[in-house]
Structure 1
Amino acid sequence: MAGGRAHGHAAGLPAVGEPSALGPEPSIVGREAEVRRLARVTGLGADVPSGDALLGADAPHGGVRLAADEVGGGVLLVIGEPGVGKSTLLEDAARRAAHAGHRVLRATGRESERDLAFAGLHQLLRPVLDEADELPERQRLALLGAFGFAEASGEPLLTGLAVLTLLSRLADRTPVVLVVDDAQWIDAASAGVLSFVAWRLDDDPVALLVAVRNGEPLPGFDDAFPAIRLEPLDDAFPAITLTPLDDAASRRLLDLRAPELPAGIRDRVLAEAAGNPLALLELAKAAHSRGLEPHDHGPLPVGERLAAGYAAQVAELPEVCRRTLLLLAAADVADPPDAVLALLPDPDDKTWLTLEQASLVGRAGRQVRFRHPLVRSAVYQSAPFDARAQAHRALADVLGDEPDRRAWHLAAATPYPDAEVSAALERTADRARRRGGYAAAAQALARAAELSPVPGDGTRLLVDAAGLAVLTGRLAWVEELAERIRARTDDPNALAAATLRVGRLTALTRRHNAVFAELIGIAGDPAATHPATALDALAAAAVLRFYSGEASHRQEIDRILPRLPDDPMRDWVRMVADPFGGGRGLVPRLPSMIAAARNHPERLTALAVAAWILDEIALAVRTFDEAVRSWRTRGPIPDGLAGVAALAYFEYGRWAQAREVCADIGALAAGKLDHAAACVLATDAMVLAAQGDTVEARALAERALRLVDPLESRSVAVHARRATAAAAAAEGDYESAYEQYRTLFDRGGDPVHYHASYPALPELAAAAARTGRHAEAAEIVERSARALAEGGSARLHALVERSRALLAAPERAERAFLAALEEPALEQRPFEHAQTRLEYAEWLRRRRRIAESRPHLAAAHDVFARLDARPWAERARAELRAAGTDVAVPDPHGLAELSPQQRQIVRLAARGLTNREIGERLFLSPRTVGSHLYRVFPKLGVTTRAQLRDVVDAGGVPRE
């Protein structure tokens, strides 16, 4: 079992401390506002005394009452330095919630468990795992598999859905409070599931309280909790940042807990503690126990010196006490299994009394915990290595039924290479990988590499570790592993593999040109690297060619490609890097290549991208559908190419789905993979601009441009500027629109990006026609037509004809319009096809061919209404009225007011799916689905689920 066994309370000394010889009862001083904030999140009223009131632990609810109209829910971070009182606030909130009848589940991060996949999650859910029997079968198996109780599914998001459903079921009976202390040490797999759940707590009375040390990284949490970086991000969860107590609160705390301190010592304690509650109490305790006088000189222990003080205290204990403490510190569990308890003194042994009287540990039943992490750290670090190794070997000997823990204990006891321990860690990594614990697997492989006695095996393990680390999205970690590979080998294939792994993640940042050069260096020397590695490197380089749009990149790829062996990957490179040249002739091979890639989401995604680039939109969307389904069940695999799925769905008329993909990828990329985040921001902006949400579209486009260098990420820059231009056009500002569209082509009229610029030609032409810039725009259109004459797709030829029609003299315009409309490829993109029909109908009506215009206007209007393209729908309605046809404002049921997620819920509910089935499809809790439906029914004017079918059939929400 990889998870932890402990269900224990937070191990931290408080802003106020726990009972000790210095004071009778714990009290919270100077944190009244924070207590009220936590009370609101946990569903308790906020009637908390303020001012000088002290909240005693024995007061009913501590003065906090359960409000009749408040059930709680949401996420709150408690951030601060060690000893500032995070654990005490969480403990206080948990106690109040439990007193009010809420279900409280707790977990505490531990350094020794941060590499054990799902250890923290198991610790949190262990008291309620019996409830898993009531989950849907796939969810039940995913959850139990994550903990090693069933065959691992390897589907982290399904595990997250299982946790969400489990918590929702618990919350049906009573509000639930999740308390996660020392979250900086929670393993990444657990953190990933908790972050998944955190974003979906809107409608469930489930509160998640997370305490984290200021400045500590939270792998797996950092996407969900950007506030940890202490940056003012709009989408961050609420946070409390605990600052040191002010002078008045510090003095009140000492009055309560150390009233006997002499005035001179008291002032020194106040000065040296600097408002840190732990330091206040411990310094006061040390001064009291040592009988310090005001005239005594020398600093009081604080910070590292405080840890040294603990070590000195431990050194004075009997040998049996020191051995017991070291075993506990090495085991680092608050609820030891029977095997570990067998190594410790009997419960009634006087050793425990000695340790408790020394205020080093506390016991409650089977729970044994250190009073503060500094105690554990001091015990462990002050012991000589031989003693620590002996403790770890003893623990490994009794943990035979927990192979992952046993492997790590053996590793901690092994200072030199050891083949058996290395192999045990490799097996641990394999188990973690199969459960989706990529970070834990990478950590285990990296340590296995250190302990491998065979240099070649160690290098292989590090390369594998770097490959798994890529899946976490943590670029700095991948770079660190690559440096370790370079330091231990000169094997060119291993070095190339290391560079390639770094390059795959760096490609999703803004350093495209530098990474391209490195990848080309690998691919260009196949004699020094394995041919497969060279092909992988060239494929990654082709991705960068697409991102950057740099012409010289294609020349480099063309130079190297003939040297590499014939392979489907080589064909893919040509499709992506040169879609209007050699890549165009490979279109007939795409279906067979896709068929051969079934059940491989990464390859399917890549081939879907190729299909999209080659304008085979229907094939691209079908392939993306299959890839995204697999991708979602595989967990958060950072893949910038998956962002193209959003563009494909947008072009194919599935705008809600496009926005959902943007949201999914944006959550994975935020804060660390700037290019990937910018891709989806720009795409989302294009959708919003088309729907008339011009303010938000412009804001997203500006954010996208701030994240990248436009010269190294031309694809992002083009899409962002298209969105900005479309927003301006929607507002009637065609001058600004033309200026933005014009930036998509250079001074000579060539496209800024070899693929992304061309689809904007009709938009450029339309803005030019309204601003009198016919000649300049016509030159750009004709220059593009010449460039696309040989290798351009049928869709691009149709867009060129549409552009010509918008700029042409009357006698030539109709022929160009008809040429565009007769192209079947344009019909597969409903928005572009509807735009062309509207523009042709406008041309017809202005020539008084009103009867001919009406069918085109009506068809275009229906598409715009279905897509919720409000500016275009209004324009079509105005034309219909001018043509003598009165059209009622569409969407009488309020579908335009629904979010993309709500529309998806409506569509699935109309098909007869239950709330639980919808939740499983969309990774939401059944309660959240029900809450959305409850809110949308009045907007849609319906009272039963059966009526939703009529809403969908009316054209507001496409069924598929």
Structure 2
Amino acid sequence: MDERPSGSRGTAAPTGGGGVHGSAERDGASRDAIVGRDAVIERLTALVADLSGGGRALLLSGAAGTGKSTLLDDAARRAAAAGRRVLRAAGHESEQDLPFAALHQLLRPVLTEAGDLPDRQRRSLLGAFGFEPGDADPLLTGVAVLTLLSQVAERAPLLVVLDDVQWIDAASADVLSFAVRRLDDDSVAVLAGGRDSDDHAAGRGPAGGFDRGVPKLVLGPLDRAESRRLLDLRSPGLAAGLRERVLDEAAGNPLALLELAEAARGRRAGEAQGPLPVGEHLARIYTARLAELPEAGRRALLLLAAADAADPPDTVPALLPDPEDKAWTAVEESGLIRREGRHMRFRHPLIRSAVYHAEPLDARLDAHRALAGALRDEPDRRAWHLAAATLHPDAEVSAALERTAERARRRGGHAAAARALARAAELRPDREDGARLLADAAGLAAFTGDLPWVEELAAQARARTGDPAVRATASLHAGRLAALTGRHAGAFAGLAAIAADLAAAAPATALDALATAAVLRFYSGEESQRREIERILPRLPAGPLREWTLAVSDPFGGGRALAPRLPDLIAAAWGRPERSTALAIAAWILDETPLAVRTFDEAVHAWRAAGPLPDGLGGVVAMAYFENGRWEQARTVCAELAALPAAPVLDHAVACARAVDAMVLAAQGNAAAARALAGEALRLVDPLESRSVAVYAHRALASAAIADGDHETAYEYARTVFDADGDPVHYHASYPALAELAASAARSGHHADAIAIIERSARTLAGSGSSRLRALVHRGRALLAEPEHAEPDFQAALAEPALERWPFEHAQTLLEYAEWLRRRRRITEARPFLTAANDTFRRLGARPWAERAQSESRAAGLDTDSAVPGAFAGLSPQQQRIVRLAARGLSNREIGERLFLSPRTVGSHLYRTFPKLGVTARSQLRDVVDAAGGPV
């Protein structure tokens, strides 16, 4: 046995952990009893001392026994003494498979206040705990937790203490990390402690997901002087020779120092030659105490060790001897446990592990059977104990675990469901059934974003069956998830191989694999992948999915033929959101954007009714909304994607959302924020693996530079969207940048280079490009032409009525033509175009363009107001969205639910915006929004 605990400890500190001068229970631990952590204590004290400035968080990370729990206990005591409210929870290794176990532990003291939450939030939160019927929506549950914590903090500053976060169940970790990142203006501090080791839940990192975006403070070993001081405090009579051996062997680990010193007490320095017990030997220290106990005491401890914290609290005591039994006296005197009210708790998870593994296998199996017998009314816990007691295939136990997995899935606990199915597969007598369960487990695990785990489950499924369909399904789950991480080349190769291998034996599965490969072709923009798709595609059955695959991979070639059939296909897909979504993607790629947006509206609504937005969908939906002039919705979709549980590991998907969000911000005139998001997107991906994201990010940077009036920089960024020969870097994403390229070139002196690129693109798009792209070519030509020759191209760009479907592009063209007309002194002709452009820019909130249109309008003798460039336009995009929603009458809670903010944060934003807007009441906001233009 190594030193990594394998059990649960409750919320109390381990005996001697972290260089304490004794546990809180035995010695009344205080700051003076904690050795070598003065700087850490100062930082924790400062963090919880003043919470008026908004939420803050800190993660204590370190190896087992470095004192994280003791420091958290100390901070919690100090916070309580200062009048703060303290909520606590601790992860347990045995509870990793129980969705929302840790969240329930944390919120249980305040759960009665959930009745004050908005109805949808309340139902989702209570549904996560199984208190109300229906499935939990992870996003809505996260908003509910955010609202509840904010609500609690309104009465008194709140300290949230999360210990052993590496063992917190995935569902709780996702929701809590979501809330932690959004406590911007609430009087809440979050202190977390997590194991810094490889012994953690698959794929979530050593801190269970809390190590992303939360400042981390690593607790290292004590130095020699600090270690001596700790031993002087705890073991003053230890012989000098033994003292040096303890110091050498413990290597500064506080827990090892104290335990080894305790074990060495009473020995002579020359005894027990060789290293002092560590690792397995340290476990033997505990089992040596166990051996001295009576049989009844040993059995009681084994039952405690076999039980999980998630088991009903009265389950184990019902199986144990009476508390007055003499066996308990010996058990308590052993120092292995402590009494907490009516219950007994191990003093440290190492003890639980040592006790459990010290007993023979048969005794451990009997303990689990006894617990299962006591849990007949708790089917999920009973199933897991039966599984722990089962060494050989058992169809009945396997089926019980399968039912447990389904209940966990309905509550949004995908990780727990996947683990239950994986264990069910191990116990399923029929290998083919087991393979199917493993493939299903891989599909559920994909929701966690843990690609290594999904790949492992897929490999196990393939090893158990020769069924090509099951093998391919398992591989597809891994391939789809790999696509969202940025590993496009490898994932494409695997999916293309599946399609080629199964083309004859399982053509439907092969086509599914090739369709997924086409998505990767879109992400990467790699031309060789298009050729590979076209090589395999003729071997697969004809039909809409085959046409869809061609449209995604080659929209300006054979894929264009799908466009006329899309309305009928979308109508036939009504009620099947996954199919509607796929068709909407094709519609967007083929520049049927209004149709795509309408379909996305319906499909996304259906998806949300069943769970979170599909991980890979956000960037495409957001881009369609942006192009269609629905910018607020585009930003909301991007925010939803970033908040998904799997987002921290889905680099490509998150980068795409960041890049699209940056494009919106740049168009709104928030150049600094746009540059920050675009830079983040580029850092997340390899531009050769994710050319689409790289193009969107560079377009955002070009737009931000245009908004700043820096046209030389804008051209540099726009030029990167095309290669040295003038061909598009990405076969689809690059062409809409032609206008940005031309606009920046016209003002920076790069006419010849830009004209060459535009004419090269014109030849490519002449026969197969959309009317939108052809209009952009005309617009680019007009901007770069000699003034006397520009009008025909301006008129050609505006002649296509469909261009109005892309309102921002259309308004830009109107403004540029009006500017050209005014400079030709054709002011009367320019005025209608200026008015139309100005109205659109005002509605969209495109501040730089609105200011430019207003300046031109004044020069043309038109009366204008300064609503957009004024106070409202000076607000941040987030503040503008909050004001618009407040103007519609939404409460702070309702706004927070939509924007993934706490109600207090919403209130803080409104408090700061009222003076800027010159208003004193919410009822005045509608007038402000009306004056600024755009929807209320």
Superposition TM-score, scaled by structure 1 size:
0.90
Q: Within 2, Cα distance between the matches of 1:499 and 1:686?
A: 35
- SS of aligned partner of 2:639: helix
Structure 1 residues 39 and 622, CA gap change in structure 2 (3 angstroms): farther
**Cα deviation 1:677-734 (Å, max 9, x = unaligned):** 3222322333343344445544443443343333332212222222333344444444
Structure 1 residues 238 and 761, CA gap change in structure 2 (3 angstroms): same
Judge conservation of contact 2:442–2:474 (CA < 8 Å) in 1: yes
Q: Within 2, Cα distance between the matches of 1:223 and 1:543?
A: 32
Number of the residue aligned with 2:811:
834
What are the within-5 Å matches in structure 2 for residues 585-664 of structure 1?
585-598=561-574, 600-632=576-608, 634-635=610-611, 639-664=615-640
Tell me whether 1:713 sits opposite 2:696 in the alignment. no
- SS of aligned partner of 2:41: helix
Judge conservation of contact 1:115–1:439 (CA < 8 Å) in 2: yes
Q: Within 2, Cα distance between the matches of 1:637 and 1:447?
A: 28
- SS of aligned partner of 1:342: helix
Number of the residue aligned with 1:35:
41
Structure 1 residues 24 and 72, CA gap change in structure 2 (3 angstroms): same
Q: Within 1, Cα distance between the matches of 2:658 and 2:918?
A: 33
Tell me whether 1:205 sits opposite 2:182 in the alignment. no
Q: Within 1, Cα distance between the matches of 2:762 and 2:857?
A: 33
Judge conservation of contact 1:73–1:207 (CA < 8 Å) in 2: yes
Number of the residue aligned with 1:53:
none
Q: Within 1, Cα distance between the matches of 2:675 and 2:903?
A: 35
What are the within-5 Å matches in structure 2 for residues 315-334 of structure 1?
315-333=291-309
Match of 1:469 among 445, 454, 457: 445
Number of the residue aligned with 1:153:
135
Tell me whether 1:228 sits opposite 2:204 in the alignment. no
How many angstroms does 1:777 deviate by?
3.0
Number of the residue aligned with 2:156:
174
Q: Which moved more, 1:646-655 or 1:852-861?
A: 852-861
Tell me whether 1:760 sits opposite 2:766 in the alignment. no
Q: Within 1, Cα distance between the matches of 2:671 and 2:882?
A: 26
Match of 1:847 among 812, 818, 824: 824
Q: Within 2, Cα distance between the matches of 1:642 and 1:505?
A: 14
Q: Within 2, Cα distance between the matches of 1:407 and 1:225?
A: 25
Number of the residue aligned with 2:117:
135
Tell me whether 1:484 sits opposite 2:484 in the alignment. no
Q: Within 1, Cα distance between the matches of 2:607 and 2:350?
A: 42
Structure 1 residues 762 and 530, CA gap change in structure 2 (3 angstroms): same
Number of the residue aligned with 2:476:
500
What are the within-5 Å matches in structure 2 for residues 794-943 of structure 1?
794-884=771-861, 889-891=866-868, 894-943=871-920
Superposition TM-score, scaled by structure 2 size:
0.92
- SS of aligned partner of 2:214: coil
Q: Within 2, Cα distance between the matches of 1:284 and 1:596?
A: 75
- SS of aligned partner of 1:78: strand
Judge conservation of contact 1:8–1:334 (CA < 8 Å) in 2: no
Tell me whether 1:277 sits opposite 2:259 in the alignment. no
**Cα deviation 1:587-643 (Å, max 9, x = unaligned):** 343334434445554444333322211212222223333444454565556522321
How many angstroms does 1:549 deviate by?
1.9
Match of 2:514 among 531, 534, 538: 538
Judge conservation of contact 1:575–1:614 (CA < 8 Å) in 2: yes
Match of 1:777 among 754, 762, 769: 754
Judge conservation of contact 1:195–1:220 (CA < 8 Å) in 2: no
Q: Within 2, Cα distance between the matches of 1:598 and 1:223?
A: 43
Q: Which moved more, 1:571-580 or 1:888-897?
A: 888-897
Q: Within 2, Cα distance between the matches of 1:894 and 1:255?
A: 66
Q: Which moved more, 1:271-280 or 1:916-925?
A: 916-925
Q: Which moved more, 1:417-426 or 1:585-594?
A: 585-594
Number of the residue aligned with 1:522:
498
How many angstroms does 1:526 deviate by?
4.1
How many angstroms does 1:911 deviate by?
1.1
Structure 1 residues 20 and 748, CA gap change in structure 2 (3 angstroms): closer
How many angstroms does 1:791 deviate by?
2.5
Number of the residue aligned with 2:560:
584
**Cα deviation 1:394-426 (Å, max 9, x = unaligned):** 111101111111111111111111111111110
Number of the residue aligned with 1:743:
720
- SS of aligned partner of 2:211: helix
Tell me whether 1:90 sits opposite 2:72 in the alignment. yes
What are the within-5 Å matches in structure 2 for residues 116-515 of structure 1?
116-216=98-198, 217=200, 228=211, 236-288=213-265, 290-293=266-269, 297-333=273-309, 337-515=313-491
Match of 1:76 among 46, 50, 58: 58
Structure 1 residues 911 and 124, CA gap change in structure 2 (3 angstroms): same
**Cα deviation 1:197-216 (Å, max 9, x = unaligned):** 21222233333322110145
Q: What amino acid does structure 2 have at the position aligned with 1:492?
A: P
Identity %: 67
Q: Within 2, Cα distance between the matches of 1:83 and 1:5?
A: 14
Structure 1 residues 918 and 868, CA gap change in structure 2 (3 angstroms): closer
Q: What amino acid does structure 2 have at the position aligned with 1:210?
A: A
How many angstroms does 1:922 deviate by?
3.2
Give the gaps of 5 or more residues in structure 2: 1-6
Q: Within 2, Cα distance between the matches of 1:391 and 1:539?
A: 50
Q: Which moved more, 1:651-660 or 1:727-736?
A: 727-736
Q: Within 1, Cα distance between the matches of 2:811 and 2:267?
A: 87
How many angstroms does 1:573 deviate by?
2.0
**Cα deviation 1:501-528 (Å, max 9, x = unaligned):** 1110111233323322221222234455
- SS of aligned partner of 2:319: coil
- SS of aligned partner of 2:217: strand
Q: Within 1, Cα distance between the matches of 2:741 and 2:890?
A: 44
Number of the residue aligned with 1:59:
none
Q: Within 1, Cα distance between the matches of 2:289 and 2:18?
A: 23
Q: Within 2, Cα distance between the matches of 1:90 and 1:755?
A: 52
Q: Which moved more, 1:748-757 or 1:945-954?
A: 748-757
Judge conservation of contact 1:214–1:228 (CA < 8 Å) in 2: no
Q: Within 2, Cα distance between the matches of 1:416 and 1:739?
A: 66
**Cα deviation 1:801-844 (Å, max 9, x = unaligned):** 11121233444421211221232222222221121122112211
Q: Within 1, Cα distance between the matches of 2:593 and 2:297?
A: 71
Number of the residue aligned with 2:4:
none
Query: Number of aligned pairs?
Result: 925
Q: What amino acid does structure 2 have at the position aligned with 1:793?
A: S
Q: Within 2, Cα distance between the matches of 1:576 and 1:302?
A: 59
Q: Within 2, Cα distance between the matches of 1:588 and 1:486?
A: 40
Q: Within 2, Cα distance between the matches of 1:312 and 1:94?
A: 34
C-alpha RMSD of matched pairs (Å):
3.0
How many angstroms does 1:868 deviate by?
4.5
**Cα deviation 1:752-796 (Å, max 9, x = unaligned):** 322111111122223333344444433432332232233322211
Q: Which moved more, 1:337-346 or 1:944-953?
A: 337-346
What are the within-5 Å matches in structure 2 for residues 35-54 of structure 1?
35-42=41-48, 44=49
- SS of aligned partner of 1:179: strand
Number of the residue aligned with 1:51:
none
Judge conservation of contact 1:471–1:636 (CA < 8 Å) in 2: no
Q: What amino acid does structure 2 have at the position aligned with 1:153?
A: D
How many angstroms does 1:543 deviate by?
0.5
Number of the residue aligned with 2:17:
14
**Cα deviation 1:894-915 (Å, max 9, x = unaligned):** 3334333332222221111222
Give the gaps of 5 or more residues in structure 1: 46-68, 230-235
**Cα deviation 1:564-596 (Å, max 9, x = unaligned):** 334443333233223233433333433344344
